[in-house]
């Protein structure tokens, strides 16, 4: 029986030794690294102006200039789209079309209510706004210039993306 108890005690000492049970005191405290790992959330929402579900440009003629999309009103600071950063980090917003625009239309954009033809929406990403804080918003205003446009409806897919700043 003494041999059994001795074997058990030796086994327990071995197990506790492996498990890292050591004595600590005020001169040699226990220390360990504590990590707080929070992923970068770059999510966002987009609200179109008015009750819009699409971005529609309706020129009065086939060669109209600086046509605003339905429900946008730059003169009253109503953008076609308002993007809200719902993530936990500052983000950069970019945009593009899924394919090139028809040759008879150019679309300008700005994050303020002033037309800027040096910024156009193309089939490659362009910057809407940078370093938008968590819970912050960014406006998107658009204008289209039409030159002898074809009649009918010509759709394009507009994309917005976000990346951590």
pTM of the full structure: 0.80
Tokens read off for 161? 């993306």
The residue count for the chain: 165
Q: Is residue 22 part of a domain?
A: no
pLDDT score for 98: 96
Tokens read off for 116? 């800027």
Q: Is residue 25 part of a domain?
A: no
Mean pLDDT taken over the chain: 92
pLDDT score for 14: 56
Q: Which domain holds residue 159?
A: 44-164
Count how many domains the chain has: 1
Q: Who has greater pLDDT, 44 or 20?
A: 44
Instruction: Give the percent of the chain with pLDDT over 70.
Output: 87
pLDDT score for 19: 53
| Confidence check: pLDDT of 81 > 90 | yes
pLDDT score for 64: 98
Q: Who has greater pLDDT, 4 or 104?
A: 104
Q: Is residue 33 part of a domain?
A: no
Q: Is residue 84 part of a domain?
A: yes
Q: Is residue 1 part of a domain?
A: no
From residue 128, alpha-carbon distances to 48, 100, 146, 161 in Å are 15, 18, 22, 10
Percent helix, percent strand, percent coil in the chain, to nearest 5: 10, 30, 55
Q: Is residue 100 part of a domain?
A: yes
Please write the tens of the pLDDT for every residue from 106-148.
Answer: 999 999 999 999 999 999 999 999 999 999 999 999 999 999 9
Helix (H) or strand (E) holding 9: helix 2-18
Q: Is residue 76 part of a domain?
A: yes
Q: Is residue 21 part of a domain?
A: no
The CATH number of the domain holding residue 108 is: 2.60.40
Please write the tens of the pLDDT for every residue from 8-41.
Answer: 656 656 555 555 567 899 999 999 999 999 899 9
Q: Who has greater pLDDT, 70 or 17?
A: 70
Q: Who has greater pLDDT, 22 or 67?
A: 67
| CB proximity list for 6: less than 8 A, separation 6 or greater | none
| Confidence check: pLDDT of 101 > 60 | yes
């Amino acid at each position: 029986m003494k041999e059994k108890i001795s074997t058990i005690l030796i086994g327990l000492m071995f197990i506790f030794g492996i498990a890292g049970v050591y004595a600590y005191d005020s001169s040699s405290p226990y220390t360990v690294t504590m990590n707080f790992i929070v992923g970068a959330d770059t999510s966002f929402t987009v609200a179109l102006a008015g009750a819009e579900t699409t971005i529609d440009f309706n020129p009065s003629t086939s060669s109209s200039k600086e046509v605003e999309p339905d429900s946008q009103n730059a003169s009253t600071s109503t953008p076609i789209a308002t993007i809200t950063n719902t993530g936990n980090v500052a983000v950069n917003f970019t945009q593009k079309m899924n394919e090139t625009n028809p040759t008879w239309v150019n679309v300008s954009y700005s994050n303020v209510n002033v037309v800027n033809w040096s910024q156009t929406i193309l089939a490659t990403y362009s910057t809407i706004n940078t370093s938008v804080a968590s819970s912050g918003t960014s406006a998107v205003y658009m204008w289209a210039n039409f030159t002898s446009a074809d009649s009918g409806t010509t759709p394009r897919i507009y994309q917005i993306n976000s990346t951590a700043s």
